[in-house]
Amino acid sequence: MSNGFGIVTEAAQSFSFSRRALALGIGQGAVGLVLAGRMTWLAVFENEHYRLLAESNRINLTLTPPRRGWIVDRNGQPVANNRTDFRVDIIPDRIDDADTDAVLAQLRQILSLDDEDIARVRTDLERNAGFQPVPVAENLSWEQYAAVGVRQANLPGVAPTRGFARNYPLGEAVGHLIGYVGSASREQYLEEKDPLLITPGFKLGKDGLERSLEDRLRGTPGAKRVEVTARGKLVRELATRPDRPGDTVKLTIDSGLQEYAARRMADNSGSMVVLDVETGDVLAFVSMPAYDPNSFSDGISQTEWKMLSENDHVPLMNKILQGLYPPGSTVKPMHALALLRNGVSPDHKVHCGGYIQVGNGRFHCWKRGGHGAVDMNTAIAQSCDVYFFQMARELGYDAFAPTVRKLGLGQTFELPFPSQRYGTVPDSAWKEKKYDEDWTVADSINASIGQGYVLANPMQLAVMAARIAGGREVVPRLLIDEPHQPAPKLDIAEEHLEVIRHGMWSVVNGGGTGGWNAQLHMDGVEIAGKTGTAQVRRITAAERRTGVLKDAQLPFKLRDHSLYVCFAPADKPKYAASVVLEHHGHINPMTDAKVIARDVMTYFFDRRKAVRTLLDLEPTWGGDYRTRMAAQEAAFRAAQEAPAPPVPEDAAAAASDVVSNAADANNRPSGNVAGDPPGDTE
């Protein structure tokens, strides 16, 4: 009789156990096979991957910034080179906010940092992404560098580095020529994702030739391998890959002439360009005042940035290529050439009585009583306005404009700079297109003396002088990549050019407006030139009746520009130059444009005499540019009532904004400055 419970036999128990054991064994075997397979995969197929990971934990590989290529002048003298540099950076993502104050306090004591330095570092730590190094100090002594190194374990995020820094031996003299280098911005890194951009000590071109020639100057980075413990402590240095320096770039510039011209510019706001009249080689390229590129490359201070950005002489502007000015009377030789090409005889005379009447408006000559009967040579030598007024009224400025363009005005040149402003050569078609207005006689009269709508930059004026001097279609060049050959001849009659050259000789040596102090006073060498004054305000008839105000009585921005173009030797021209001084007003004869040009030209033929003259005069305007800059900064610091604001995150872009605003304010056509408006006659 069954009681409902099955009887489990010993055989059944044995079978059940064996089946479970088999299943468990199969499971264990499968797991073992998976583990063995995974171990085989990791040990064999992934061996290289994990070997590299292990190596990366044991070995730190860091890039070393490449040495930038040198920039040298035509004689091989360095204009931009590299020097050994000890520096300290902070890597933001390696320092906790809680440690920042303590770290900065130690660095302040070790490196003798002031309040402005600490404020700058704090600002940069807030701005920079975690991977971007923040410069703390550069140009450190070995003792300072070593002091940071021995305390590095107690300075989280601090990275002392030994490398190379950019050096500009001529300082401000080459600021607008060479430009400067600086750390990559956040935007640049995010765009390129190049780890070199965030390597401590690496800098790239930000302005001038440093920026436009970046690909040639940068070089190839090296790499440094060091073995470290799990805690990151250095064990030993392993093999390194050296960097490959960038290319050396040779310029047409003569560095001795460049420095001399920069110093001879005195305390003016302006520029000077010197060209070889055969090849177009740029021998001097000076815009003053300027910034010291060493300051920007090392990390400009807040005070120095504020001083530069607020200066009404706009030291951040490259005045040679970004400044536009009414060329004034410097265009009269070129306009006389246009008259010759239109069939006007050089012997044709115009009577100058001090003004001409056009309708019920008057246009005044600079000489109130007039010049009397004037031919072409006298008109150039004495800079007679009425002669050119009359010719422009008869022919119209459309007859002048083609020659003006042929001699370089209105042209943009292929120079290695980020931007150029190329000015205006106006004519009737231009005015109709720009303003939808007809050209007037008054427009022609104003343009005939380099006023009105006519605007040019100093490089164009130098090209104009060089083309007149040599009769060649020179184009300015800054790089010597291959020997430069003479430029092709202009398709202008040589006899016409000779008439103009003689007129410019008369300006200086024939009783013209240049006068005695524009002459070289050297045996066998004479200079030819043309003076110019460009008004920036209109003189009313009422002011003429009571007496025109002298420039010394006017605010800086209302004073006339002083201009001069020249070439030498006058009989066999080799060099041509332009000098443009903003708002100089001919106030100081020793710092006027024609005297500056005279001394710079003297440098070519009697260097000792030129230097002696400079050394005698330099103390009268406060010393050389370095001395004046240091004094200016000291005075500026003393006058500050509050700490200067931080330097903009992208200083190069901020400098560009300053320049654009200044250029937009200055580079406007001067309008009808030569004449009284209708109804306002004497």
Query: Residue 72 is part of a domain; what is its CATH number?
Result: 3.90.1310.10
- Residue stretches of the chain with pLDDT short of 70: 1-17, 42, 45, 48-61, 128-132, 226-238, 649, 663-682
Q: Which two tokens stand for residue 61?
A: 């590989």
Report the number of distinct structural domains present in the chain.
1
Establish if 151 belongs to a structural domain: yes
For residue 588, the model assigns a pLDDT of 94
For residue 84, the model assigns a pLDDT of 87
- Tokens 């790239």 belong to 204
> Is 536:554 a contact under the CB 8 Å cutoff?
no
Establish if 420 belongs to a structural domain: no
What lies within 8 Å, CB to CB, of 297 at 6+ separation is: 165, 166, 168, 180, 181, 182, 203
Give which of 169, 275, 163 is closest to 219, Cα–Cα: 163
- Sign of the dihedral through C-alpha 194, 198, 204, 206: positive
Q: DSSP class of residue 418?
A: S
Neighbours of 426 (CB within 10 A): 25
* Structural domain boundaries, residue 210: 63-250
For residue 473, the model assigns a pLDDT of 97
Give which of 605, 572, 597 is closest to 498, Cα–Cα: 572
Q: How many residues does the chain have?
A: 682
For residue 171, the model assigns a pLDDT of 95
Establish if 240 belongs to a structural domain: yes
Q: What gap in Å lies between CA 386 and CA 374, rounded to an integer?
A: 9
> Is 107:136 a contact under the CB 8 Å cutoff?
yes
For residue 7, the model assigns a pLDDT of 63
Establish if 184 belongs to a structural domain: yes
Q: What gap in Å lies between CA 556 and CA 666, rounded to an integer?
A: 13
- Tokens 């020659």 belong to 403
Cα dihedral value 581, 582, 586, 592, nearest 10: -20
Give which of 67, 85, 83 is closest to 243, Cα–Cα: 67
Residue 162 three-state SS? strand
What lies within 8 Å, CB to CB, of 107 at 6+ separation is: 88, 113, 136, 137, 148, 155, 158
Give which of 267, 311, 303, 308 is closest to 288, Cα–Cα: 267
Residue 640 three-state SS? coil
Strands 78-90 and 158-167: antiparallel
Q: DSSP class of residue 474?
A: -
Burial of 303 (0-12, 13-18, 19+ CB in 10 A): middle
Q: What gap in Å lies between CA 163 and CA 578, rounded to an integer?
A: 41
Residue type, 494: E
> Is 335:399 a contact under the CB 8 Å cutoff?
no
**Distances, alpha carbon 466 to alpha carbons 130, 271, 274, 410, in Å:** 54, 17, 9, 16
Burial of 20 (0-12, 13-18, 19+ CB in 10 A): exposed
Q: What gap in Å lies between CA 524 and CA 505, rounded to an integer?
A: 14
For residue 418, the model assigns a pLDDT of 81
Q: What gap in Å lies between CA 531 and CA 544, rounded to an integer?
A: 23
Residue type, 153: A
For residue 52, the model assigns a pLDDT of 56
Establish if 313 belongs to a structural domain: no
Rg of the chain on CA atoms, in Å = 36
Neighbours of 615 (CB within 10 A): 11
Q: What gap in Å lies between CA 504 and CA 365, rounded to an integer?
A: 19
For residue 644, the model assigns a pLDDT of 75
Partners of 374 in the beta sheet?
350
> Is 294:623 a contact under the CB 8 Å cutoff?
no
Residue 241 three-state SS? strand
> Is 260:610 a contact under the CB 8 Å cutoff?
yes
Establish if 443 belongs to a structural domain: no
> Is 168:296 a contact under the CB 8 Å cutoff?
no
**What is the DSSP code string of 281-302?**
BEEEEEEES---HHHHHH---H
Residue type, 453: Y
**Distances, alpha carbon 490 to alpha carbons 404, 448, 487, 561, in Å:** 13, 23, 9, 30
Establish if 49 belongs to a structural domain: no
The CB-side HSE value for 266 (13 A sphere, CA atoms) comes to 24
Q: Which two tokens stand for residue 34?
A: 């998976």
Establish if 118 belongs to a structural domain: yes
> Is 596:264 a contact under the CB 8 Å cutoff?
yes
- Sign of the dihedral through C-alpha 367, 371, 372, 373: negative
